[in-house]
Structure 1
Amino acid sequence: MPSAPCATASFRADTPPRGALLAQLALALGGFSLGTGEFASMGLLPNVACDVHVTVPIAGHMISAYALGVVVGAPLLATIFARTGRRAMLVGLMVFFASANVLCAVASSYGVIVAARFLAGLPHGAYFGIASLVAASLVPVDKRAQAVARMMLGLSSANIVGVPFATWVGQAAGWRAAFVVVAAIGIATALLCRLALTSTPAPDDASPLTELGALRRGQVWLTLGIAAIGFGGVFAVYSYITPMLTERPA
């Protein structure tokens, strides 16, 4: 039975010094921050539009800008930083996300808001991809799906707790305050990841070509297309949920 000791040794080598549960909490907090930042802007869309003197449909471009950042950022960052350690990558992504939300909070014009939202979207997809790999590496093979689910619980919790709270803050103290809250959660995530995760180098076979290799498969493009159409339809309605529920047609 030589394989069991090897598997145990490998598992222990990946176990963070403060425990796998705290590491999973750090990863989940990142999902909570990203989910709150993404969806809270939808609830505050009329507030932003009024403050920068544009119509609600025009202000909706800030949501489109974030989505475009997600689409561009995931493959771009995964390719550029393929050789970067995973902990360093996660910390850097959350610091960048927090900085972009601060920029949005202090933006003085509609154009800067749209640009800031695009920048905030860049780390979104890359974070979830890397965090899933890290979460799976923290536990034995038979518990990897559970670990990834715990990490993704942060995103689910954002829709239940984070988004309503950030929307309330934005409506009570101004929409800019909501983005400050999101930035603070992002910084907290970066600090917790720095403390709870082990510094590990990138895999030996990691390279830009390896990261993009999956795009050679037609099945991948088909899956991406299905997801794009489905989520596109959902967000086309969800983006304007606030005016639809609070305003009466003339």
Structure 2
Amino acid sequence: MVEVRRLLLVLLLATSLLTACAASDGTPTSGDGDTAISSSSGDTETFADPEPEPTTPDVPEGESTDDNPAIQVARLPVGGGSVLDPGDPTLQCAQVNWVGSNGGEIPQGTGVELIGVAFDPAVFETSGDGCGSERPSCLGYVFRASALQCDLAVRVTGDVPPDTRPTVGFSGLVFCPDDQSESCRRFVEALGDQEQQQVTLEVPAPPEPATEPTTEPTTDPATEPTSDPPTVPTEGG
């Protein structure tokens, strides 16, 4: 009996030693044999994949900051023509297109806001917000790499001098993602070197002079002279 007790004691000691060795390697085991993840090192932190850098950074329309001010351009490279309103000869729709080339193409992420309109001669004015077409109004419009057309409703306010080719031009503000960047600097410089094109306006036909209606003179029957009846000759007369 004493030998059996000694044998059991030896087995218990051996089991204890094996358990201690298993725990000493830092990988505790669960009862079903799967590896358990220790949380003794504290909370784990996971990192999501970083957001990709935008390839076409956008600039808020009509906004600038002290670090990134807008750059004013006196004359923008635009061109196009105009169509008279068939129902109103004093009104026409100027179709404005960005025509910059040789560095004057608008880079991705850059905006050019229209802020001023100049008519030559100054006998025209803007009329309303647009022409009622699918193209947006040019008033406050921002040209971008994928937005290069707008419409401007124009009304004549005076007489166009003879042999005059009326035009309309625009000034604007350039908004770059970084106004100090090399691409922004090259773009603004190229705008100054662009051939200054303008939108040609139509000369409205002068209104036809008013003519007074002509009426045939009328005679009052009461005052109309009467003629004597013809004389019938009598026998022996």
Please report the TM-score for the alignment, with normalisation by the length of structure 2: 0.24
Greater relative contact order (CA < 8 Å, ≥ 6 in sequence): 1
Q: Determine which structure has more spread, i.e. the larger CA radius of gyration.
A: 2
Pick the structure with more helix per residue.
1
Pick the structure with more strand per residue.
2
